[in-house]
């Protein structure tokens, strides 16, 4: 069977120019998700969430392929980020951040397959995070841009989106800040990291 690369099959979701925000209509999709809070650089819960997401996602990939249903590359890691006080997010007070980390799972993945993948992962990782789940997610109309560089250098781009781009188009927030990590931070220099920055939007009232 042919192997699907979702970054190519769903190119509009995983590509964007680096010099301007573009509009994209994001369809309902399915994700393996884990919720948490705290600085992603230091919070043990963050590393545990990432371990579980990858372990479960790869178990799903191999199970679906073994069943002769589909062969695909595991899609990139993604994250939804926010803070109870928005000022804490803008000021990069990461210890006060909240997050949902997630990896897309093809629609062919069903709940029994997910539960089997979790059981397989438990053999090496122990009990899963309480929030680990397979869940549908819809964003709809969004604006996105490709950010090249360190995660900590995103602030000016986001400020331009919030203070200039969205107001000029009569738009307001319709969901949480969304990042799609196209680079492996363990193997890529910070200056060369590629990240899609996405913001769901709606007409301002």
CA angle 108, 141, 73 (to 5 degrees): 30
Instruction: Please compute the mean of the pLDDT values over residues 130-141 and round it to a whole number.
Output: 97
Task: Look at the domain 3-203 and name its fold.
Answer: Multidrug-efflux Transporter 1 Regulator Bmrr; Chain A (3.20.80)
Burial (CB < 10 A; 0-12, 13-18, 19+), residue 163, is exposed
Q: Element (H or E) spanning 198, and its range?
A: strand 194-203
Looking at residue 186, what is its pLDDT? 84
- HSE-CB at 192 with a 13 A cutoff on CA atoms is 7
Query: How high does pLDDT run on average in the chain?
Result: 94
The Cα-based distances of 6 to 13, 28, 90, 91, 202 in angstroms read: 9, 15, 31, 34, 26
Residue 34's contacts (CB-CB under 8 Å, 6 or more residues apart) are 49, 52, 53, 100, 101, 102, 129, 131, 132, 133
Mind listing the pLDDT tens digit for each residue in 145-167? Answer: 999 999 989 989 999 999 999 99
Residue 102's contacts (CB-CB under 8 Å, 6 or more residues apart) are 31, 32, 33, 34, 53, 77, 78, 79, 80, 137
CA separation for the pair 14, 17 (Å, rounded): 11
Mind listing the pLDDT tens digit for each residue in 17-28? Answer: 999 999 999 999
Which DSSP state fits 1? -
Q: Element (H or E) spanning 78, and its range?
A: strand 77-83
Looking at residue 185, what is its pLDDT? 84
- SS3 assignment, position 98: strand
Nearest to 77 by CA among 96, 99, 62, 93: 99
Looking at residue 198, what is its pLDDT? 97
Domain boundaries, the chain: 3-203
Mind listing the pLDDT tens digit for each residue in 45-97? Answer: 999 999 999 999 999 999 999 999 999 999 999 999 998 887 777 777 888 89
Residue 56's contacts (CB-CB under 8 Å, 6 or more residues apart) are 32, 114, 117, 118, 121, 128, 132
């Amino acid at each position: 069977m042919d192997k699907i690369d979702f970054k190519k099959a769903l190119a509009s979701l995983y590509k964007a120019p680096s010099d301007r925000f573009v509009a994209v209509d994001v369809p309902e999709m399915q994700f393996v998700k884990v919720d948490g809070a705290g600085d992603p650089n230091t919070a043990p819960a963050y590393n545990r969430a990432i371990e579980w997401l990858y372990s479960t996602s790869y178990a799903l990939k191999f199970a679906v392929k073994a069943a002769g249903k589909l062969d695909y590359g595991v899609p990139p890691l993604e994250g939804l980020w926010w803070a109870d006080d928005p000022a804490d997010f803008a000021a990069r007070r990461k210890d006060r951040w909240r997050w949902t980390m997630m990896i897309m799972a093809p629609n062919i993945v069903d709940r029994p397959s997910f539960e089997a993948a979790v059981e397989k992962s438990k053999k090496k990782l122990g009990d899963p995070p309480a929030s680990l789940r397979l869940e549908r997610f819809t964003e709809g109309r969004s604006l996105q841009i490709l950010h090249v560089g360190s995660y900590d250098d995103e602030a000016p781009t986001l400020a331009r989106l919030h203070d200039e781009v969205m107001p000029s188009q009569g738009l307001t927030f319709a969901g949480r800040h969304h990042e799609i990590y196209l680079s492996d931070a363990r193997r890529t220099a910070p200056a060369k990291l590629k990240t899609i920055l996405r913001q769901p939007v709606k007409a301002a009232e």
